[in-house]
Chain A
């Protein structure tokens, strides 16, 4: 762990001497895509820059099994800071019903009773440029409104657990900080820390440290690769897991 922290500090120190990243590609900040720009990835959603400082995001492939949409609205942008809010809606009922099955792909028992679930995510994002890096502070809450007969278990897998916790427990507040900047030429790093507060049933936190490097070949193509370390209080006790992340991004 100490080694990982040293690597992150080293990269931050190095990158402090170079320019801030290009804003063409979307990121975890309060910035939004330029109006008319679109980008998507193999695993990432389709994002579209709209007028009036808005950014729309939907996952077109997953949309048919988990209808979803989010809007990021930038409310304030000046030399000192940018402030945005993020509003996301997902309807995971169909996906959960698909995953409640016997045999391979059965994430939940086939006997699960899945209610109608409407999940809302609202977050505030504040970005500040300092030392040629962009620091973003976020604060948000997942809220799930469920209707109908309900008898299904949580999904305790590291990264999935905090993101789906609200489906079993109504709400999940979270907060995070993100640091991003240019590493060298068209290589951009992004480090993000997120903490989810799991308020019900054996309250505790799940934290995530993610680090990725993006090679922005052009405004039309980029490769993202990195890792995410999830640690915190799970139903089986404190635990952690390190997972790779990877995506091919396309902009147009």
Chain B
């Protein structure tokens, strides 16, 4: 009798322990293995692909299909949730631009697959189904059954690599969480990562990397993330493999003339220093990207980026102010092989195809041609 009573007591304790130790909002993506934390996608219809002498590579932070709706974190507005029609309309713009850019491989950041803010539309799938891209891999960067802050609710947003070619062996490699954030913020907020996938294109094997590093890190976490990315690239390079990496590094290049007091700040109606989304500028971070430029080839090399604002502004890829102009470069593509000379371009205006990029996202797409032969 006493034994049975003890047994039931143990059951009760186990239940209580379970109650206090689990992940009730399913936000800890890292509880899955790196390979299990990736979702594979396939277009509804697989389109045939002709491989030429170059691969067209694009990276683009698509701001979860919000276009230029001013969200609360922009400080220009207070929107939290979009209507389905708004998301579809914005995504049609993104899709048309992608079709026009015609990438063989595109790295996407802030792609929503199941978020209340974007009407639960799977943005990866609709891009695959409406462009010439066939395959995709996705890794969550922000995932929770419910985020009880600002009315965000359910969110699943992250990095994706989409390709005309099949992607295999994908992994989500976690990066450091922002150390200065309290535990509850770490639990509910963004969990940065490197998304890795392999692709065989023609007779060549590629390792593809996509990433999106922290934006509001003032405690050195972002630099740790950048170093972790560099280490991963160095490892792949040392194994003699070819990599192409694209992403939003949330860091400006070395030699940048503009590094603080950007024209989309408080004076233009953007975030001021009282906001938790206030961008403090990049003083002291000007050399953070140098390690990549020193070792690998960039879509926009430093020689092209130049030393003057008049030159550098041609490669700016971000602004929070839809009524302004791009004012800093945060987006990059790197490889340990060769890009076709001078092919790197930030699509700031849409003069080529009549599809302006400013209304589509707070980032402009960056493209470059990779030399296959």
Contact = CB atoms under 8 A, between A and B. Distances in A.
B239 interface: no
Interface stretch (B143-151, B166-174, B211-219, B288-296): B143-151
* Interface residue range, chain A: 35 or more
A189 to B, nearest CB: 10
Contacts of B78: 102, 109-111
Contacts of A215: 8-9, 12
Contacts of A106: 148-152
Contact of B5 (A105, A107, A157, A185): A185
25 contacts: A100-B151, A103-B150, A103-B276, A106-B152, A107-B153, A109-B78, A110-B72, A111-B79, A112-B151, A153-B81, A153-B116, A156-B146, A156-B153, A157-B153, A184-B4, A185-B4, A185-B8, A213-B15, A215-B12, A226-B15, A235-B116, A237-B114, A237-B120, A243-B24, A244-B18
Given A225-B12, A244-B18, A245-B19, A107 B148 contact: yes
A204 interface: no
Given A223-B12, A227-B15, A244-B22, A104 B146 contact: no
Residue in A102, A157, A158 with the greatest tally of chain B CB atoms within 10 Å: A157
Interface residues of B, number: 34
Interface of A: 100, 102-112, 153, 155-158, 183-185, 187, 213, 215, 223, 225-227, 235-237, 241-246
A105 B148 CA distance: 5
B154 interface: yes
Contacts, number: 100
A151 to B, nearest CB: 11
Contacts of B154: 156-157, 236
Contacts of B22: 242, 244
B26 interface: yes
Contacts of B1: 185
Contacts of B9: 215
Nearest to B184: A104
Given A157-B146, A236-B154, A111 B80 contact: yes
B310 interface: no
B148 A104 contact: yes
Contacts of B151: 100, 106-110, 112, 153
B16 interface: yes
B261 interface: no
A246 B80 contact: no
B66 to A, nearest CB: 14
Contacts of B80: 109-111
A227 B149 contact: no
A102 B18 contact: no
A102 B120 contact: no
B8 A187 contact: yes
Nearest to B21: A244
A185 B1 CA distance: 9
B11 interface: yes
A212 to B, nearest CB: 8
Contacts of B120: 235-237
A25 to B, nearest CB: 16
Contacts of B72: 102, 110
A244 B15 CA distance: 8
B15 A110 contact: no
A184 B146 CA distance: 38
B18 A109 contact: no
Nearest to A105: B148
A98 to B, nearest CB: 12
Contacts of B152: 106
A111 B78 CA distance: 8
